[in-house]
């Protein structure tokens, strides 16, 4: 896979470059570190969007609402991506919810329940 190039506004670019020099990091290393804190949310959004087949009107509407979660994401929006998914599709089990459910489920080994 080819590396992705990201264009930043001049002020942000200058800030990242300054911090990169001061911290002994590359600009891409800083961006990777910042984005890694949001990867689980991005995977949740991708998985949710992939679950929508787009065939039904409801799915098409949900796809638009899901896309808007990322479009409007930022400090001025109090809603998290997970919160938005739960609002859009209360019946949808997120990856996080499925993990918790699996962890909380009893473990069956042979005839014994742990």
pLDDT, tens digit, for every residue of 17-30? 999 999 999 999 99
99 and 45, same structural domain? yes
Better pLDDT: 57 or 12: 12
77 and 32, same structural domain? no
> Has residue 76 been placed in a domain?
yes
Model confidence at 92: pLDDT above 80: yes
Residues with Cβ within 8 Å of residue 13, at least 6 apart in sequence: 27
> Has residue 1 been placed in a domain?
no
Q: What is the pLDDT of residue 85?
A: 94
Better pLDDT: 33 or 109: 33
Residues with Cβ within 8 Å of residue 30, at least 6 apart in sequence: 16, 19, 20, 23
Please check whether residue 80 is in contact with residue 39, taking contact to mean a CB–CB distance below 8 angstroms: no
pTM over 0.85? The answer is no
> Has residue 97 been placed in a domain?
yes
Residues 52-77 have a mean pLDDT of: 85
Indicate the pLDDT class of residue 14, thresholds 50, 70 and 90: very high
45 and 79, same structural domain? yes
- Maximum Cα interatomic distance, the chain, rounded to a whole number of Å: 64
52 and 23, same structural domain? no
Residues 45-68 have a mean pLDDT of: 87
């Amino acid at each position: 896979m080819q590396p992705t190039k990201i264009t930043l506004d001049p002020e942000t670019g200058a800030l990242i470059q300054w911090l990169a020099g001061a911290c002994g990091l590359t600009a891409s290393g800083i961006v990777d570190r910042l984005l890694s804190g949001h990867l689980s949310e991005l995977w949740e959004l991708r998985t949710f969007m992939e679950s929508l087949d787009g065939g039904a009107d409801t799915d098409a509407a949900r796809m638009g609402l899901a896309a808007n979660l990322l479009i409007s994401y930022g400090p001025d929006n109090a809603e998290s991506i997970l919160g938005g998914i739960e609002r859009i599709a209360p019946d949808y089990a997120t990856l996080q919810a499925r993990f918790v459910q699996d962890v909380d489920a009893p473990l069956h080994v042979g005839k014994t329940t742990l």
